[in-house]
């Protein structure tokens, strides 16, 4: 703020709420990395938006592909290509018409007073650089509601997406996501990392999410056979344990919170020693580290919670 004054200082200081003061630490971020004599950010509070993917085997890492229905094509799980993981869905169009591919059907999207935004996305790669495909959102009988641009297949994976807004008070209904040839062709293609999301806050397409992606990512049920979600990221750091693995005494590491580490702003961690907070802290930006010499490795964990 350009017109900030000293009396605004109340907003500069952080007072944890009564509720969060006694909150167990539910988030953590482990680390092990080399430092150097240039300050580096060891950890920063992630901008980790909550999102949900309704598609049950979105990365085709599970062997069951019964949630996908072929239409004018043959489909099968293939480990020949993958955008992530080890497998994708191979689509072999029959080459008798346009719009050959497959679809996935959602559970009922419940009625809502306010609009709901549907987004569908996936990554596609041609067996060769020819032919085009598109992704569509349709109603429960396959009538088109929204369609991506036609995308020419290449031998690299590319993301395609479509979005549709359900007006408020629309009766609950099933929706389908189609991935099909844009024009008739006989080029096989691979589909991976599919996503279908229902949001009320934005029509923007979220980053791809599945339960295999690490800390904060979970399947709602069986792995590779249920919806999945990304939980909120850490918003408040509440503790750190950091070990300086070096055995060389000159290799002191300085650790700073919410500012850039230097020999004067950082807490010194002597070679071979561990610094661990013994009382909850409350920092909300980042941890910076710098070494006095060399490239000592630091390892440990940052503890925190959400909604400080
Ligand atoms: Ca995959
Ligand atoms: Ca074919």
Give backbone dihedrals phi and psi of 204, rounded to 5 degrees, phi first: -65, 145
- Among the listed residues 118, 108, 182, the one whose alpha carbon sits nearest the alpha carbon of residue 145: 118
For residue 75, the ligand closest to its alpha carbon is 2
In DSSP terms, 179 is beta-bridged to 102, 135
Distance CA 34, CA 146 (A): 48
Q: How far is the CA of 156 from the centre of ligand 2 (A)?
A: 20
pLDDT of residue 40: 98
For residue 95, the ligand closest to its alpha carbon is 2
Environment of ion ligand 2 (residues, CB < 5 A):
92, 186
For residue 93, the ligand closest to its alpha carbon is 2
Q: How far is the CA of 126 from the centre of ligand 2 (A)?
A: 12
- Cβ contact 153:129 at 8 Å: yes
For residue 213, the ligand closest to its alpha carbon is 1
pLDDT tens sequence for the chain (308 residues):
678 888 888 888 888 888 888 889 999 999 999 999 999 999 999 888 899 999 999 999 999 999 999 999 999 999 999 999 999 999 999 999 999 999 999 999 999 999 999 999 999 999 999 999 999 999 999 999 999 999 999 999 999 999 999 999 999 999 999 999 999 999 999 999 999 999 999 999 999 999 999 999 999 999 999 999 999 999 999 999 999 999 999 999 999 999 999 999 999 999 999 999 999 999 999 999 999 999 999 999 999 998 74
In DSSP terms, 240 is beta-bridged to 302
Domains and CATH numbers, the chain: 15-47+233-305 (2.60.120.770), 51-230 (2.60.120.260)
CB atoms < 10 A from the CB of 170, how many? 14
For residue 72, the ligand closest to its alpha carbon is 2
Distance CA 155, CA 190 (A): 10
Distance CA 300, CA 95 (A): 56
Structure-block tokens of residue 112:
């809502």
What's this model's pTM, rounded to 2 decimal places?
0.88
Distance CA 255, CA 260 (A): 9
For residue 101, the ligand closest to its alpha carbon is 2
Distance CA 251, CA 164 (A): 56
Q: How far is the CA of 59 from the centre of ligand 1 (A)?
A: 4
Q: How far is the CA of 242 from the centre of ligand 1 (A)?
A: 35
Q: How far is the CA of 88 from the centre of ligand 1 (A)?
A: 5
């Amino acid at each position: 703020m350009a017109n900030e004054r000293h009396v605004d200082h109340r907003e500069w200081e952080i007072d944890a709420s009564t509720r969060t003061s006694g909150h167990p630490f539910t988030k953590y971020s482990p680390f092990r990395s080399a430092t150097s004599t240039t300050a580096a950010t060891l950890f920063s509070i992630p901008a980790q938006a909550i999102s949900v993917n309704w598609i049950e085997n979105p990365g085709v890492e599970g062997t069951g592909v019964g949630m996908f229905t072929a239409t004018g094509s043959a489909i099968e799980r293939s480990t020949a290509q993958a955008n992530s993981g080890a497998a994708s869905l191979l689509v072999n169009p029959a080459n008798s018409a346009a719009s050959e591919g497959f679809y996935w059907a959602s559970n009922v999207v419940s009625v809502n007073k306010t609009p709901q935004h549907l987004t569908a996305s996936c990554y596609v790669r041609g067996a060769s650089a020819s032919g085009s495909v598109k992704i569509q959102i349709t109603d429960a009988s396959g009538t088109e509601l929204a369609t991506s641009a036609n995308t020419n297949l290449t031998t690299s994976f590319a993301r395609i997406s479509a979005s549709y807004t359900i007006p408020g008070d629309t009766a609950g209904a099933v929706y389908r996501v189609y991935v099909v040839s844009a024009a008739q062709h006989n080029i096989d293609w691979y589909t991976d990392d599919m996503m279908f999301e229902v949001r009320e806050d934005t029509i923007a397409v979220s980053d791809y999410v599945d339960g295999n992606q690490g800390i904060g990512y979970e399947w709602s049920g069986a792995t590779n056979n249920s919806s999945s979600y990304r939980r909120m990221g850490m918003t408040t750091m509440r503790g750190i344990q950091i070990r300086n693995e070096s055995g060389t005494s000159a290799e002191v590491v300085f650790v700073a919170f919410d500012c850039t580490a230097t020999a004067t702003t950082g807490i010194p961690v002597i070679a071979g020693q561990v610094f661990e907070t013994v009382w909850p802290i409350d920092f909300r930006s980042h941890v910076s580290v710098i070494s006095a010499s060399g490239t000592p490795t630091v390892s440990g964990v940052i503890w925190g919670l959400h909604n400080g």
